[in-house]
């Protein structure tokens, strides 16, 4: 298009320049993206707000469908044939996966960009401004846009689309095929993702899956995560009398399940948070040398986080948070027994229940880890059942526990030494400078399901600010993170 307007002489000059441009570096993809966004902040913010205005919560399936339709149209506007992916046996209200592929002639590689368009549920009354009426506010002299999904995870989708716009406007020669996979059920735990991906295996494979979700480091530096911990849960109930008993008439005599549970839980960990359950750390795959040196180079934010969370101490025997995230964990996430405060009664409760959350690292399996906890409870003299214990069971055993195990999600880690991983790091560094590399994210992402379905290694490349109130009221995105994220996405799209 541009060339048609040039005079023949100038066109000839251009040919010469193009030939010598083999040696002179052309404008890089992140630089193109930077130039594109710098002159369009207001326009792009307004476009992002248009996307944020479409409600994206699970309780509003019609809203989620509108998001999917909007994204379909956005991809098509970029010349990308796009479709909605579903699985035939799924109910119609399951939000579809938005899918598009940009085929590049002669490409030998395919890069897959994953993000999600759904957001966490909202309680509108908790928000300073309505969750689907985006507004820009200044925080510490910096602009942020407030709306559900702003940080988690519409920012990533918008960054991908805008990076592509910038590269296409500059006629940047892409070298790899690009695939976009935007899920609508991530915040509900991706219950149908693997099923949908399985149904469309041919479409979703690639040389690497880039999972663009979550926050960058607290120092605002770019992070690349090479894996995620797995997760498994146990609901543990211990039993006392068949109904609550008068604590004066029966105290000191009737076994008290609140106390039994407290003692049982107290034996599971020491004061430094080390899990005492036998074999709990068995099988943990050690970090490689690259992973270890990446961790050693990562910033230590522990002191600042203790201040932020009003903590007088942290556990781990002096280990930093980022190191501890590479170990399995056991946390009590809730305890109930009897009543407290104004509802307190002078009675010995009939049961006491704790919810346990087990995070898993590579080398461990959900069921085996759960069974280790079950074995521990047995070793403390408990008869363990998975169903509600019968009167017979309660009277014939001194101690009775019910343990309900969930299916759990597997951990996953991509080796930092993988050539494609190193290329991704190089690409991100070309946009963001030095990057923090972390072997594992503490939280759980269905990387395992993605990898099983696609056969591709996964790397997580978040762009949102850590203080974006993700999952809470007043979710926001620091706009500088959006501009930075667009450059990062452009760099990744420009990969070979
Ligand atoms: Zn997310």
Distance 74 CA to ligand 1 centre (A): 20
Closest CA to 354 of 335, 374, 373, 333: 335
CA 428 to mean position of chain CA atoms: 19
CA distance 215 to 56: 19
CA–CA separation, 435 and 33 (whole Å): 19
CA pair distance 117, 176, nearest whole angstrom: 24
Q: How many CB atoms lie within 10 A of CB 473?
A: 15
pLDDT tens-place string over residues 284-341: 999 999 999 999 999 999 999 999 999 999 999 999 999 999 999 999 999 999 999 9
Tell me, in angstroms, the distance from the centre of ligand 1 to residue 445's CA.
Answer: 9
- Gap from CA of 153 to ligand 1 centroid (Å): 5
* pLDDT the model gives residue 189: 86
Q: In angstroms, what is the span from residue 476 Cα to ligand 1's centroid?
A: 13
Q: C-alpha angle with apex 486: 481 to 492, nearest 5 degrees?
A: 125
Tell me, what's the pLDDT at 24? 60
Of the candidates 211, 189, 145, the residue with the CA atom closest to the CA atom of residue 457: 211
Go through the domains of the chain in sequence order and give each one's CATH number.
27-228+411-493 (3.40.630.10), 230-284+327-405 (3.30.70.360)
- Through-space distance between the first and last CA atoms of the chain, rounded to whole angstroms: 25
Q: What value does the mean pLDDT take over residues 341-356?
A: 97
Q: How confident is the model at residue 17 (pLDDT cuts 50, 70, 90)?
A: very low
Ligand 1: centre distance to CA 278 (Å): 35
What confidence score (pLDDT) does residue 455 get?
A: 94
Asked if 359 contacts 442 with a C-beta cutoff of 8 angstroms, the reply is yes
Average of per-residue pLDDT values in the chain = 94
Cβ atoms 325, 199 nearer than 8 A: no
pTM of the model: 0.87
State the pLDDT confidence band at 445, using cuts at 50, 70 and 90: confident
Using the mean position of ligand 1's atoms as its centre, give its distance from the Cα of residue 205 in Å. Answer: 21
Per-residue tokens: 477: 């995105």
Q: How far is the CA of 211 from the centre of ligand 1 (A)?
A: 10
Q: How far is the CA of 83 from the centre of ligand 1 (A)?
A: 22
- Answer yes or no: are the C-beta atoms of 430 and 315 closer than 8 Å: no
Residue 476 has pLDDT above 70, yes or no: yes
Q: Near ion ligand 1, which residues have CB within 5 Å?
A: 152-153, 213
Residue 185 CA, ligand 1 centroid: distance in Å: 10
* Beta strands at 383-385 and 400-405: parallel, antiparallel or unpaired: parallel
pLDDT in tens, 118-156: 999 999 999 999 999 999 999 999 999 999 999 999 999
pLDDT at 23: 55
Compute the distance between CA of residue 132 and CA of residue 53 in angstroms, rounded to an integer: 5
For residue 442, how far is its CA from the centre of ligand 1 (angstroms)? 14
CB 375 within 8 A of CB 384: no
Given a contact cutoff of 8 angstroms between Cβ atoms, the answer to whether 348 and 241 are in contact is yes
Q: For residue 3, is pLDDT > 80?
A: no
Q: How far is the CA of 47 from the centre of ligand 1 (A)?
A: 20
Q: Residue 154 Cα, ligand 1 centroid: separation in angstroms?
A: 9
Distant-in-sequence, close-in-space partners of 458: CB < 8 Å, separation ≥ 6: 208, 209, 210, 211, 412, 414, 447, 450, 451
What is the rounded (10 degree) CA torsion for 357, 362, 363, 366?
30
For position 92, what pLDDT does the model report? 87
């Amino acid at each position: 298009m541009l060339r048609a307007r040039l005079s023949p002489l100038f066109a000839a000059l251009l040919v010469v320049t193009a030939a010598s441009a083999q040696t002179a570096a052309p404008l890089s993809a992140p630089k193109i993206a930077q130039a594109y966004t710098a002159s369009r902040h207001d326009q792009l913010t307004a476009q992002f707000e248009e996307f944020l205005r479409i409600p994206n919560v699970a309780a509003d399936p019609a809203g989620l469908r509108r998001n999917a339709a909007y994204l379909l149209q956005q991809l098509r506007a970029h010349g990308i044939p796009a479709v909605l992916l579903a699985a035939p046996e799924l109910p119609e209200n399951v939000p579809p996966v938005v899918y598009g592929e940009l085929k590049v002639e002669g490409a030998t590689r395919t890069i897959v960009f994953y993000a999600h368009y759904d957001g966490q549920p909202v309680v509108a009354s908790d928000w300073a401004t309505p969750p689907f009426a985006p507004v820009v506010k200044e925080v510490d002299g910096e602009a942020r846009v407030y709306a559900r999904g702003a940080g988690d995870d519409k920012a990533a989708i918008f960054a991908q689309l805008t990076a592509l716009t910038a590269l296409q406007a500059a006629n940047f020669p892409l070298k790899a095929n690009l695939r976009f996979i935007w899920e609508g059920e991530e915040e509900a735990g991706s219950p149908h993702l693997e099923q949908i991906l399985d149904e469309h295996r041919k479409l979703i494979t690639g040389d690497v899956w880039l999972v663009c979700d979550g926050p960058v480091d607290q120092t605002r530096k770019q992070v690349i995560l090479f894996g995620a911990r797995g997760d498994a849960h146990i609901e543990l109930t211990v039993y006392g009398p068949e109904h609550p008993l008068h604590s004066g008439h029966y105290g000191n005599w009737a076994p008290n399940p609140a106390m039994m549970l407290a003692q049982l839980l107290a034996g599971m960990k020491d004061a430094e948070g080390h899990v005492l359950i036998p074999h709990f750390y068995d099988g943990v795959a050690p970090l490689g040398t690259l992973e270890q040196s990446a961790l050693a180079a990562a910033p230590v934010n522990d002191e600042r986080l203790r201040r932020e969370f009003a903590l007088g101490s942290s556990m781990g025997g002096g280990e930093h948070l980022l190191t501890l995230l590479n170990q399995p964990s056991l946390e009590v996430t809730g305890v109930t027994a009897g009543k407290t405060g104004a509802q307190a009664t002078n009675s010995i409760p009939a049961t006491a229940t704790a919810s346990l959350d087990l995070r898993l690292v590579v080398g461990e399996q959900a069921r085996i880890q759960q069974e280790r906890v079950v074995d521990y409870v047995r070793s403390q003299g408990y008869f363990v059942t998975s169903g509600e214990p019968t009167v017979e069971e309660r009277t014939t055993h001194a101690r009775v526990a019910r343990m309900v195990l969930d299916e759990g999600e597997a951990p996953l880690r991509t080796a930092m030494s993988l050539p494609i991983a190193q290329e991704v790091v190089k690409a991100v560094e070309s946009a963001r400078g030095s990057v923090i590399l972390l072997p594992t994210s503490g939280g759980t992402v269905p990387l395992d399901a993605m990898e099983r379905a696609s056969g591709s290694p996964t790397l997580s490349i978040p762009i949102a600010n850590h203080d974006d109130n993700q999952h809470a009221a007043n979710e926001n995105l620091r706009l500088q993170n959006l501009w930075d994220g667009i450059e990062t996405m452009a760099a990744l799209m420009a990969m070979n």
